[in-house]
Homo-oligomer: A and B are copies of this chain.
Amino acid sequence: MSFPFVKGHGTGNDFVVLPDLDGSVHGELQPSVVAALCDRRRGIGGDGVLRVVRGRFDGGAEWFMDYRNADGSTSQMCGNGVRVFVRYLLEAGLVEAAGAAVPLPIGTADGVKLVSFCDDGEISVDMGPASVGGSTVVSVNGQRYEAVNVDVGNPHAVAFVDDLAEVGELAASPYFCGVEFADGVNIEFVQRLEGGALAMRVFERGVGETESCGTGACAVVAAAAAAAAGHEGAGHSTYTVRVRGGDLTVTIAADGHVHLKGPAVLVAEGNWRG
């Protein structure tokens, strides 16, 4: 087995991009193959795989992002991944940034996402509306945290803390969430910084603690905006979200859609042999 690949990251959330324009990769991409590709010592290494699918999809999308977690499981959406995905399309000459007055539609398992190329070189994604509501108790290292439930296409539990360091090591096992999330949940811990920015740590289901999580940043801002407005989903505002891997900018637009903006970098391309 052998695949051409591209390696890229957005704020340290890294991906193996697998171009699959002829569909030949699809049948080979068993969970064990995804895990082998994402193995950081015996493979390429990454938080997930982004298979690049060309076709005709809902919403006029020519491109579909087939996202898999590092353990081979599927996930609806990945906010950092979609930027890396689009950076690949751009650098491969498959789409054009110049004159892109109309956002580029990208198909995902969570529906079509509209992507814009920003003047500063970053990429912005309309992640759709976030739904804030309900709460969960998260238990970590013997401490219990009240967390706000946010759905951004995938489920999040957002816990505001005074100091991110107090949470301690985010190992694989010590979590407990309420029964609300049968399929697991991504957990964000958030500290409000002076000046209004938000610092965040994230534990992604199926992955572990990562340097960044795009949908997590959106969830955090949705929760912060809802708290600021005093009621669910309200507020029209822009926040900087500081993750371990860098800064993301999240805007809640007037229509309630959450826009995630940040860097996306391709660092290598080559051939993998399994």
- Does A14 belong to the interface (CB within 8 Å)? yes
Q: Complex Cα distance A5/B12, Å?
A: 21
CA separation between A265 and B273, bound complex, in Å? 10
Q: Are A41 and B270 in contact (CB under 8 A)?
A: no
Q: Is A262 an interface residue (CB 8 A)?
A: no
Query: Which chain B residue has the least Cβ–Cβ distance from A47?
Result: B41
Q: Counting CB contacts under 8 A, is A268 at the interface?
A: yes
- In the complex, whether A110 has a CB less than 8 A from a CB of chain B is no
Is A56 at the interface (CB under 8 A from chain B)? no
| Given A12-B41, A42-B9, A245-B41, A269:B268 Cβ within 8 A | no
Asked if A272 is an interface residue, CB under 8 A from chain B, the answer is yes
> Is residue A232 within 8 Å, beta carbon to beta carbon, of the partner chain?
no
Task: Flag if A271 contacts B270 (CB, 8 Å).
Answer: yes
Contact among B12, B45, B211, B269 for A270, CB-based, below 8 A: B269
Within 8 A of B (CB), among A248-274: 265-273
Return A37 CB to nearest CB of chain B, in Å: 9
Q: A161 at the A/B interface (Cβ < 8 Å)?
A: no
Question: A44 at interface (Cβ–Cβ under 8 A)?
Answer: yes
Cα of A270 to Cα of B266 in the assembled complex, Å = 13
Q: Nearest-CB distance from A191 to chain B (Å)? A: 22
Measured CA separation A242–B98 after assembly (Å): 56
Contact assessment for A7 and B267 in the assembled complex, using a CB-CB cutoff below 8 Å: no
Distance of A46 Cα from B268 Cα, bound (Å):
14
Q: Give Cα distance in the complex from A269 to B44, angstroms.
A: 10
User: In the bound complex, how far is the Cα of B40 from the Cα of A211, in angstroms?
Assistant: 12
Compute how far the CA of A199 lies from the CA of B42 in the bound complex, rounded to whole angstroms.
21
The contact string, 1 if C-beta is below 8 Å from chain B, for chain A 30-65, is 000000000011111100000000000000000000
* Contact A270:B270 (CB < 8 A) given known A9-B41, A14-B41, A211-B41: yes
B residues within 8 A CB of A211? 41
Residues of B within 8 A of A9 (CB): 41-42
- List 4 other contacts, CB 8 Å, given A41-B211, A42-B267, A267-B273: A14-B42, A40-B40, A43-B268, A269-B270
Query: What would be 12 A-B contacts, judged by CB atoms less than 8 Å apart?
Result: A5-B268, A5-B270, A14-B42, A40-B40, A42-B265, A42-B267, A43-B268, A45-B45, A267-B272, A268-B271, A270-B270, A270-B271
Residues of A at the B interface (CB closer than 8 Å) are: 5, 7, 9, 12-14, 40-45, 211, 245, 265-273
